[in-house]
Structure 1
C-alpha cells in the first residue's frame, strides 16, 4: 500500500512540476496536448516537428496523442523516445498501453497529458512464469521515466527515475506458441482501418500493390493497398518500415498499417510532389533545388545503410535493392525521401549478441536500368552485406546523374535536356537484359556526363562523385555515407 501511494504521489508531483515549468518558460499558456519529451540527437528534428518543445515538455501541434518508446531489458523498461505522436493519431486509451512489442522494443500511444511517462501492458514475463502458474494473480513492478524540470531563467534541472511494471500474459491472438521472429508477433492481429480512412484516386500500380491518395482520420495520406493474396509482401514491407529507429527525414514515414475489406494497407506520409521521375519530367531545377534533392536523397540512403545501437535499441542496416527514381518521393519542401521497401533486405551486420528480431529476406533485385554490373552479370555474392549496399550506391550514382541533368544552372545557357532515365539515350526507355549486359558489363559504359560541367567551380567534384559511385568494381565505390558527405561539402554557389 505504501509503495502504490508513493508512486501516485510521485506522478502528481511530476505533472505539477512539468505544468509549472511550461507556464514559467513562456508568456503564453497553450491548451494543446502536453507530453513528456525525450529524444536522441538523431531524432530531435523529427520529433520536434510534432509540436513546440519547452524544456522536457512538448505541446502537440497536430495530434491529441502522446507516444512513448521503451527498451525492455531484464523485465524492466527504459524510455528512449517520448513526445507527441509522429506516426499515429488514433489513441483511444488515456493510459500508455503497449501497442507494439518487438523483442526488446515496446511502444504505446495515449490521449491524456503526460500519459507517456508510464506504460502498462500485457506480455509474457519469464520471471513471473517461473514463480507462478499462468492464472495466478497479478502484482506490480515499477517502470517510468520521471523528468523534473525546474526552470530558473535558462537553467533546467533534470531528474530521471525508473518504475517497473509486473507484466500480464500477452493477448492470445498475438502470442506465438513457440519462439519466433519478434516481428511475427503481431502478424495475426491486424488493425481494421476501414472506418478510419477514405481511398480517393489511384496514382500508381505495381506488381504487388496499388498506391492511392486518401485521407486517414482527416489527414491527407498515401495508401499502399495490397490484395489479400499479397499478405506476405505486405508483411515484409511493413516490417522494414517498423524497424526500430527508422524515423529519418530521408525515409517516408509509416503512419499506420492494417487491413481493409479487400486487402491490407500501409498508411504512409504523403509526399505531394510525387515520385522523383515524375517531378523531374515536369520540373527544371536551379542549382539550389538540385543540391537539396541530391543531399537529402544521399542522406536518406546513408541512414538506411547504417546499423545503430542507441540506448540498447538496435536498428540493423538495410539494403534497398530497388533504388530508382520511381522509388524516391519528393516532398513539398523539395527534399527527397526513400520509399517502397518490397525488395529490401535487412542485414545482420553488427547485431548485439542474442538479438533475434531481424528479418533476413530473400534478395529480390529491382529495376533493370539501375542494376549494378555485378547484379546484372549474376556474379554478386548476395550473402555479403557489402555487395548489397554497394549495389545501392551504384544506383545512387545513376539517380544523381538523372537529377543533375535537369539542373538549369549546369547547362550554361543551353536548353535543359528533357528528363531521361539512365541509359535511355543509348538503349531506349525499356532496354533488355542482353543490351544492358553488353553496354554496362562488357563495354563498361555509363551515362554521358556533359563536358560543360567542367566550366563550373564544382563541376569536377560532381564528375568525380558520379564516377566513384558507379565504379565497375564494387569495392572501389564510395559508401552512401561518403557520398552524402561529399554532397554536403558542396556550396550553393555554382559560379563559373
Structure 2
C-alpha cells in the first residue's frame, strides 16, 4: 500500500528509528528512500563484525548519501542499497564485496586465516601464566629478604582518557561510535560550508554540522582546533565529536557540538530587544571567549594562541543563560611558540567581507605576524558590539531602539564585494554610525568607546581582547556598586 504522507520503511532492531518510532518502522517525506546498509565495525572485543542498519532517508539528505556501493581505502567497507516503496527495504540484502586475494590486511581489521583463533587464545594464556609465575617468584624472593615493594608511581592525570592529546570533546576512539548513534531530526541552518542539523544523541539535543565535500579543509581545521589542549571554555561552543565516513560515491563530514536553541546572535537580535544588563552579559561573555582563544597557556600541556579570523554575529551562539559562545573555527590560525611560526591551514575559504579589517581589505596583513591576526579579530569584534548596542534600550522599555541591521548596511549591498568594502572601509575610512541616544546611557557610552578603539584603522592602536574584558569587568563591578 502507498501512504500519502511518504514512504514507510523498516528500521533495524540495532538502532532507533530516525523519527523515534518504537514499532521498528519509520516514515519519510515524498521523494525519500528506504535503505539498508551493511558495514564492517569493530565490536567490544576488537573483532570485525557486520552491522546492518535500516531506515528512512529524507529527500534533504540525498546529497549526503547516494545509493551506490563502493569501498574507500583505509576505511571499513560499507554498502548501501535503496528503494522507493513501502517496506521495500525488508527485501534488500546488500553484500560486501570480497577483497582481492593479494590485499595486505591491516592487523586488527579482519580476522586472519593464518593463525587459528584457538592457537591465539592458548598463546595468550601461556604468556599470562608465565607472567603470573614470574611475579609470584619475585614477590616470594622479596619477602624472604625482608624487602618492601617500591611505591607505585602516580598515575598520569589523563589516564582515564583514550586520546591523542585532545583537550576537548570525547576520546577519539569514542567519537566514531557517537557519530553512528546520532539521530538526525531537522535541518536548522545552511551556510557556505554546509548544513546544520538538530539531532539527538542519548536522548539529548545536539547540533550536527554536515560539511560539503568541497569544504574538507574547513572540517579538518575546525576539528583540529576544537581538540586543542585546554580549548574548552564556557564561552566557546562545546565540542562533542567529529567523524568522516562514506564510500566512493558519498561522504559525510560531521562535527557534533552542543545545541543552543536560541540560535545565532544574528538571528536572536532580529527579534529580541536587550536591556543594559543583558547587553553587558553578552558582551562580556563574547570577549571572554575571544580572550581565552587569543591566550597562549605555557606548560607541558599548554594551549597555543589561536586567532578566529571570521568573528561575526552569525558565528556567535546565544546560550539559555544569556551568555554567548563563539563557534566556527574553520579558518582559525594557531601560533606555534616553540618555532615562532603561524600555523595557517591550507584553506581556500576566506573570511566574511563585511567584517574584514582594513588591513585585510588592503591586502597588507602580515601573515607571518600572529599579532596581526588577533588585531583583525578585534576589528570584527567592534562591529559585533555595534550590532548589539543598536538593539539595547535606553531608559524605559518603550524607548526607541534601532531595527536590527548588519554593519555598513547603508553603504554597501546585501552581499558586498571585496571592492565594495575596500572603498567604504579603506578608501573613505567610514565606520558604522553611533546613534545620539546612546549618550543617554552609561552602558552604551562605555561600549561605544570600546568599539571605536577596536575598529581603529591602525591595528597596533586597537585594544586587545584581554584589555576589553578587564574594562568591561571593571564597569560591571562599578555599576553593581551604584545599584546597591
Same fold (TM over 0.5): yes
Deviation (angstroms), 1:425:
2.4
Q: 2:230 aligns with which of 234, 242, 245?
A: 245
Matching of residue 490 in structure 1 with residue 472 in structure 2: no
Matching of residue 199 in structure 1 with residue 184 in structure 2: yes
Deviation (angstroms), 1:409:
2.5
Output the CA distance in 2 between the equivalents of 1:435 and 1:410: 37
Matching of residue 162 in structure 1 with residue 154 in structure 2: yes
Output the CA distance in 1 between the equivalents of 2:189 and 2:440: 40
Q: Tell me: CA distance 1:205–1:449, structure 2 relative to 1, closer, same or farther (3 Å).
A: same
Deviation (angstroms), 1:260:
4.9
Output the CA distance in 1 between the equivalents of 2:462 and 2:443: 20
**2:256: which partner in 1?**
267
Q: 2:269 aligns with which of 280, 287, 299?
A: 280
Deviation (angstroms), 1:427:
2.3
Q: Tell me: CA distance 1:372–1:295, structure 2 relative to 1, closer, same or farther (3 Å).
A: same
Deviation (angstroms), 1:296:
0.2
The Cα offsets for residues 297-352 of structure 1, whole Å up to 9 and x where unpaired, read as 01100100001125x2111111101111100000111111000111111122x34x
Q: Tell me: CA distance 1:200–1:445, structure 2 relative to 1, closer, same or farther (3 Å).
A: same
Taking structure 2 as the reference length, the TM-score comes to: 0.60
- Helix, strand or coil for the counterpart of 2:314? coil
Q: 1:301 aligns with which of 285, 290, 294?
A: 290
Contact 2:376-2:459 at 8 Å conserved across structures? yes
Matching of residue 421 in structure 1 with residue 406 in structure 2: yes
- Helix, strand or coil for the counterpart of 2:381? helix
Q: Tell me: CA distance 1:316–1:164, structure 2 relative to 1, closer, same or farther (3 Å).
A: closer
Contact 1:412-1:452 at 8 Å conserved across structures? no
Output the CA distance in 2 between the equivalents of 1:318 and 1:376: 21
Matching of residue 361 in structure 1 with residue 350 in structure 2: no
Aligned residue runs from structure 1 range 78-477, under 5 A: 162-163=154-155, 191-228=176-213, 230-260=215-245, 262-310=251-299, 312-348=300-336, 350-351=337-338, 360-362=344-346, 364-409=349-394, 414-477=399-462
The Cα offsets for residues 200-232 of structure 1, whole Å up to 9 and x where unpaired, read as 111112223211101112110000112455443
- Helix, strand or coil for the counterpart of 2:232? coil
The Cα offsets for residues 237-278 of structure 1, whole Å up to 9 and x where unpaired, read as 100000000110110011112245541211101111100000
- Helix, strand or coil for the counterpart of 1:482? helix
Contact 2:394-2:438 at 8 Å conserved across structures? no
Q: Tell me: CA distance 1:407–1:332, structure 2 relative to 1, closer, same or farther (3 Å).
A: same
Contact 1:281-1:418 at 8 Å conserved across structures? yes
Output the CA distance in 2 between the equivalents of 1:412 and 1:204: 31
Q: Tell me: CA distance 1:411–1:309, structure 2 relative to 1, closer, same or farther (3 Å).
A: farther
Contact 2:179-2:242 at 8 Å conserved across structures? no
RMSD: 3.7
- Helix, strand or coil for the counterpart of 1:422? coil
Output the CA distance in 1 between the equivalents of 2:217 and 2:450: 38
Output the CA distance in 2 between the equivalents of 1:378 and 1:411: 45
Output the CA distance in 2 between the equivalents of 1:212 and 1:360: 28
**2:69: which partner in 1?**
none
Structure 2 gaps of 5+ residues are: 1-42, 46-126, 133-151
Q: Tell me: CA distance 1:339–1:194, structure 2 relative to 1, closer, same or farther (3 Å).
A: closer
- Helix, strand or coil for the counterpart of 1:213? strand
Q: Tell me: CA distance 1:445–1:411, structure 2 relative to 1, closer, same or farther (3 Å).
A: farther
- Helix, strand or coil for the counterpart of 2:442? coil
Taking structure 1 as the reference length, the TM-score comes to: 0.59
**1:480: which partner in 2?**
465
Contact 1:287-1:410 at 8 Å conserved across structures? no
- Helix, strand or coil for the counterpart of 1:329? strand
Contact 1:397-1:470 at 8 Å conserved across structures? yes
The Cα offsets for residues 165-221 of structure 1, whole Å up to 9 and x where unpaired, read as 9x9xxx9xx99xxxxxx99xx999971545411111111122232111011121100
